[in-house]
Structure 1
Amino acid sequence: MFLQQSVCSAMKYSIVFAALLSNVYSARILCYFYFPSISHQYVFGQIAKELSRRGHEVTFITPNPLNDPQLTNLTEIDVSVGYNVWKTHDLSGISTIHNDLLSIYYFLSDLNENIFNLELSTEGVKNLLKKPKGSYDLILAESQSPVPYGLMHKFDAPVIAVSSLNVFSDYHNLFGNPIHPILFPDIMADFNKPVAAFGDKIRSLYFTTLGCLMHRFVIYPMSDRIARKYFGSDMPYIRDVVKNASLLMVNVNPIFSDGRPNVPNVIEFFNVHNTRSEGMSRDLKQILDNAKEGVVYFSLGTNVRFDHVQGDVKKTIMEALGDLPYTVICKWESEKLEGQPKNVHLRKWLPQQAILAHPNVKAFVTQGGLQSAEEAIINAVPLVVIPFLGDQPLNAKILTSKGMAETISPKDLNRRILTESIMKVAQDEKYRNKAKELRDIFLDQPQSGIDKVIWWCEYVIRHKGAKHLRSPAADIPLWEYFMLDVLAVVLIALYLVYKITKVTIKILLELFKRSTASTTSKKKKKN
């Protein structure tokens, strides 16, 4: 009995000690993930949630608060006002200017400027920015804009840049990663790797070069102006702040990876957002269960709105879906539509993971966003991809080349092509078999994505940064990286050797001619 009590007492003290220890080592973490898009925020929300669950004190600035009362260590600052930007900026029409890269960069620059002015002016953010330096041990900042990096200066804390997809070539360059346009095309370029055709090589060089120039002369000046306005006018230039981030973590999976040899402080992770659980309404479950002939799921994401789409596109899509012998579950802006076919069920919002996991789903029509593609791969659902912008055209090419998808360009979309493409991937088992192969590769990993992210976050906290991981390639200009100075010296040396040799040979030939002429002249005199 005494022994039992002693063991119980020891266990109690151990639990108390462990709790105290976890408090001692818990960190104050600020997360600012700014972009108002639910698909992006699914990734970021899971990271903030898991940091909180593991005992860290997390402040989460987000346009999509989790509102989970069980997360007692999580303080959320709601910046959903950022979604107001979609009232003046429409992504559904951006595909019409997709080939005009300059217009896209100016569009994204203006979009981000409006988002930050909306979000950083909220009372919650303004109150947070009144806190003194040293208030946080770590900052997680969304990496697709330089502005959030400015929090590093504001609070004098190490920053980990996190992206829900791959990043622009210029960011890879700032961290010292290779940006070879043939081997590793820019995220805005829709080329499979390596780029083979000569014309595509020229275009890929154009994408990479223009992207870097636009960041240098448009994106960074705009971002620096905003960051100084909200984080302090004494801040170094924003490009230099970005270069001093401890880590860059990019959401890149083995199916979409370009095989880039990352430097030590660039970390790839994936399969984070798929850990969330989703419920399904009873009526939706009944529709799926009763569709014995099969289901086609249609969703072009959260940013492409069909109430903004011009022309007969809506009518074309509805007619094509009505031609199918399947039940269609479709994400739309309204739940009723004039001319809506009987086999089509419209919903403003749908639990995508839960739907894709249902055994009756035969095909998924998607815009090709990274998160949607990953969810399809995990559930081995073949795809019809209609890519609009950003990384979607490249994702579509990869999925099609891997054999689990068919791609339709938005400009080629018509009733016949859409119907035939859906029927093709739904009926031909080779698409699902390829999807199963990709699923097995995707899931066969030594560590979960969320565990990898948390480990690296805590690594940076333990070491108060990660400057020791920084590649020397991040601190030298491109002309030095490509050894253009050495090449110039070698070329000049070769040129000088060539000129000296040429002059020497000319002199020797001249001397030989004179000697020959002199000998000939002497012989003539003797005769």
Structure 2
Amino acid sequence: MRLLIFLISTISAVNCARVLGFFYFPSISHQFVYQSIMKEMSLRGHDVTFVTPNPLNDPSLVNLTEIDVSVAYESFRKYDLSNFGRSSHSVFTIARIMNSFSEEVIKVEMGQKSVQELLQKPNDAFDLILIEPHTPFFFGLQRKFDAPLIAVSSLNVYSYYHHLTGNPTHPVLYPDFLSGKSGRLTTMMEKLDSTFVNIMWMLLSDLVVFPRAELLANKYFGDKGSPIKEIIKNTSLWMLNVNPIFSCGRPNVPNVIEYFNIHLDRTESFSKDLQEVLDNSKEGVVYFSLGTNVRFDHVQGDIKKTILEALGDLPYTVICKWESDRAEGQPKNVHLRKWVSQQAILAHPNVKVFVTQGGLQSSEEAISNAVPLVVIPFLSDQPLNAKILTSKGMAETISPKDLNRTILTETIMKVAKDEKYRNKAKELRDIFLDQPQSGIHNVIWWCEYVIRHKGAKHLRSPAADIPLYEYFMLDVLAVVLIALYLVFKVTKTIIRILMLFLRTTLPTTSEKKKTN
């Protein structure tokens, strides 16, 4: 029996892998996704090292070592992201702000003693590396730790990453997610703008972003090994948080996996007083939250007063995520909280409308609970999410620049009273939840698949290695055009010779006839 137990323990140890997850972005909505993955990997018995600005701090996860880089939030607070999108910024400005922010966060996080100690580990310290790909710098971790690398994004990724992976990047069919467009584009202006965005991402990446990331990677990971761009092209797997409601129907190559609904199984509850507020609000509840990335101190104008006045005009109880628990001029029907358990609130049957910024995680939580939305999109993918949710019939959108007391009140009332929004939300919920396996099990299975097959290089698409002129078959087109041109020239020459021959022979024939 002792021998049997020993053998079983040995087999279990062999199946465990050493996993490094480095997820740098200081935003709890992003980190909810990564926390779910790292927690599940730990529960599966893997030895997990998790670098994050939002540690789980769960002592029951004995296989999980967390490196706290929450100091990155100090950098995050310096940046105004309340209006960060194509509606107010050019592609160049967006790239500059993203690059500047990422580089500052990188320097802060990499300067932490615990991270420096991590980098002192030997090259074979890990069997798998998971990173957040929003900045190319972290792909350089593969130089330091020679292990298969998986890029895990809490949303989609921009078009040039898709191109380097070999995924279709047709600007008319699959616009860049930061362009604010979705589906097949029909107008010429939309097509031109989408093409411009794709080309600009490509040029800015190759000329600015990648070279700067290369310099930082050389500093922290050493300059031995493949360039950042080559590591990106050879990434074992890309896992993108794209759900069927927001999907553009892109035919992904084998090493691009779409996942969704992995952070919604968190056990959340709220305080007793908030429970009483929800239970006693028989007329209905409006939940208001602009998420964690939009702060009122960065929103232009007297927006706080406008929002509070509009919410006070409602005949419903309002639970509002705010910067403080009290505010000047706070209406009696409005309950302010610095932090709330959003999933728990949205699951309550008295909630009639969710006023949101339209972030992907908030949108998924609303869909899974069939709660109709009023979306006020500010940054990143939020305008695109708002457009999709509105087109699907479960939401109404208010542009931040058009936001005023009357519009906000009337839009909330419209969504709250018209049952078509909730009915559509229920339809989308049924689509969203109908999948063959849970989102987290899908992600973990693919992670372990890459471990089992030592990088799973067989999934890599040959399209990742094709230069643009071959991808668009310009060489074939050139050969065909040259061939057609040669055929045309030869045919033209033959016809001219025949015409010349006929001209010289016809007079001779005529003269013979006259003589006869």
Q: TM-score range by the shorter chain?
A: over 0.9
Query: Which residue of 2 is the match for residue 337 of structure 1?
Result: 327
Query: Which residue of 2 is the match for residue 77 of structure 1?
Result: 67
Query: Which residue of 2 is the match for residue 106 of structure 1?
Result: 96
- Preserved CA contact (<8 Å) 2:174 2:182: no
Query: What are the residue-to-residue correspondences of 1:150-169 with 2, within 5 Å?
Result: 150-169=140-159
The letter for the 2-side match of 1:329 is I
Q: CA deviation at 1:519?
A: 5.4
The letter for the 1-side match of 2:69 is V
Cα distance in structure 2, aligned partners of 1:499 and 1:423: 72
The reply on whether 1:437 has 2:424 as its aligned counterpart is: no
Cα distance in structure 1, aligned partners of 2:89 and 2:68: 36
Cα distance in structure 2, aligned partners of 1:56 and 1:260: 33
Cα distance in structure 1, aligned partners of 2:293 and 2:509: 91
Query: Which residue of 2 is the match for residue 235 of structure 1?
Result: 225
Report the more deviating stretch, 260-269 or 408-417: 408-417
Cα distance in structure 1, aligned partners of 2:109 and 2:262: 25
Query: What are the residue-to-residue correspondences of 1:127-276 with 2, within 5 Å?
Result: 127-276=117-266
Cα distance in structure 2, aligned partners of 1:20 and 1:279: 40
Q: Indicate how the Cα distance of structure 1 residues 76 and 93 shifts in structure 2: closer, same or farther if over 3 A, else same.
A: same
Q: CA deviation at 1:259?
A: 1.1
Cα distance in structure 2, aligned partners of 1:86 and 1:517: 92
- Preserved CA contact (<8 Å) 2:86 2:180: no
Cα distance in structure 2, aligned partners of 1:93 and 1:132: 43
Match of 1:496 among 486, 502, 505: 486
- Preserved CA contact (<8 Å) 2:162 2:169: yes
- Preserved CA contact (<8 Å) 2:83 2:379: no
Query: Which residue of 2 is the match for residue 308 of structure 1?
Result: 298
Query: Which residue of 1 is the match for residue 279 of structure 2?
Result: 289
Cα distance in structure 1, aligned partners of 2:499 and 2:410: 78
Deviations 1:360-401, CA, capped at 9 Å, x for gaps: 100011111110000000000001111112111111111111
Cα distance in structure 1, aligned partners of 2:316 and 2:488: 75
Q: CA deviation at 1:20?
A: 3.8
The letter for the 1-side match of 2:158 is F
Q: CA deviation at 1:306?
A: 0.4
The reply on whether 1:390 has 2:385 as its aligned counterpart is: no
The letter for the 2-side match of 1:265 is N
Query: Which residue of 2 is the match for residue 377 of structure 1?
Result: 367
Cα distance in structure 2, aligned partners of 1:477 and 1:512: 51
Is the partner of 2:65 in helix, strand or coil?
A: strand
Match of 2:414 among 409, 424, 430: 424
Is the partner of 1:329 in helix, strand or coil?
A: strand
- Preserved CA contact (<8 Å) 2:358 2:386: yes
Match of 1:326 among 289, 295, 316: 316
Match of 1:414 among 404, 412, 415: 404
The letter for the 1-side match of 2:123 is K
- Preserved CA contact (<8 Å) 1:228 1:235: no
The reply on whether 1:454 has 2:440 as its aligned counterpart is: no
Is the partner of 1:363 in helix, strand or coil?
A: strand
- Preserved CA contact (<8 Å) 1:252 1:268: yes
- Preserved CA contact (<8 Å) 2:289 2:355: yes
Report the more deviating stretch, 83-92 or 448-457: 83-92
- Preserved CA contact (<8 Å) 2:86 2:178: no
The letter for the 2-side match of 1:444 is D
Q: Indicate how the Cα distance of structure 1 residues 61 and 132 shifts in structure 2: closer, same or farther if over 3 A, else same.
A: same
The reply on whether 1:475 has 2:465 as its aligned counterpart is: yes
Report the more deviating stretch, 502-511 or 66-75: 502-511
Aligned residue-pair number: 516
Cα distance in structure 2, aligned partners of 1:518 and 1:316: 100
Cα distance in structure 2, aligned partners of 1:511 and 1:305: 86
Q: CA deviation at 1:195?
A: 1.4
The letter for the 2-side match of 1:472 is P
Q: CA deviation at 1:14?
A: 6.3
Cα distance in structure 2, aligned partners of 1:421 and 1:304: 21
Q: CA deviation at 1:465?
A: 1.0
Q: Indicate how the Cα distance of structure 1 residues 316 and 512 shifts in structure 2: closer, same or farther if over 3 A, else same.
A: farther
Q: Indicate how the Cα distance of structure 1 residues 295 and 155 shifts in structure 2: closer, same or farther if over 3 A, else same.
A: same
Q: Which runs of 5+ in 2 are unaligned?
A: none
Cα distance in structure 2, aligned partners of 1:478 and 1:275: 43
- Preserved CA contact (<8 Å) 1:295 1:329: yes
- Preserved CA contact (<8 Å) 1:95 1:410: no
Cα distance in structure 1, aligned partners of 2:87 and 2:215: 27
- Preserved CA contact (<8 Å) 1:97 1:103: no
Cα distance in structure 1, aligned partners of 2:218 and 2:380: 28
Is the partner of 1:308 in helix, strand or coil?
A: coil
The letter for the 1-side match of 2:495 is I
Cα distance in structure 2, aligned partners of 1:521 and 1:104: 83
Q: CA deviation at 1:19?
A: 4.0
Query: Which residue of 1 is the match for residue 499 of structure 2?
Result: 509
Q: CA deviation at 1:94?
A: 2.3
Q: Calculate the TM-score normalised by the size of structure 2.
A: 0.96
Query: Which residue of 2 is the match for residue 118 of structure 1?
Result: 108
Cα distance in structure 2, aligned partners of 1:371 and 1:59: 24
Deviations 1:429-460, CA, capped at 9 Å, x for gaps: 11111111111111111111111111111111
Deviations 1:228-277, CA, capped at 9 Å, x for gaps: 11111223211111112111111111111111111111111111111111
- Preserved CA contact (<8 Å) 1:98 1:104: no
Is the partner of 1:267 in helix, strand or coil?
A: strand
- Preserved CA contact (<8 Å) 1:367 1:385: yes
Query: Which residue of 2 is the match for residue 4 of structure 1?
Result: none
Q: CA deviation at 1:97?
A: 5.8
The letter for the 2-side match of 1:366 is T
- Preserved CA contact (<8 Å) 2:285 2:317: yes
Q: CA deviation at 1:16?
A: 6.1
- Preserved CA contact (<8 Å) 2:18 2:128: yes
CA RMSD of aligned residues (A): 1.8
Deviations 1:196-219, CA, capped at 9 Å, x for gaps: 222211111112111122211121
The letter for the 2-side match of 1:397 is K
State, as a whole percentage, how many aligned pairs show the same letter: 65
Q: Indicate how the Cα distance of structure 1 residues 360 and 15 shifts in structure 2: closer, same or farther if over 3 A, else same.
A: farther
The reply on whether 1:356 has 2:346 as its aligned counterpart is: yes
Q: CA deviation at 1:505?
A: 2.7
Cα distance in structure 2, aligned partners of 1:501 and 1:243: 47
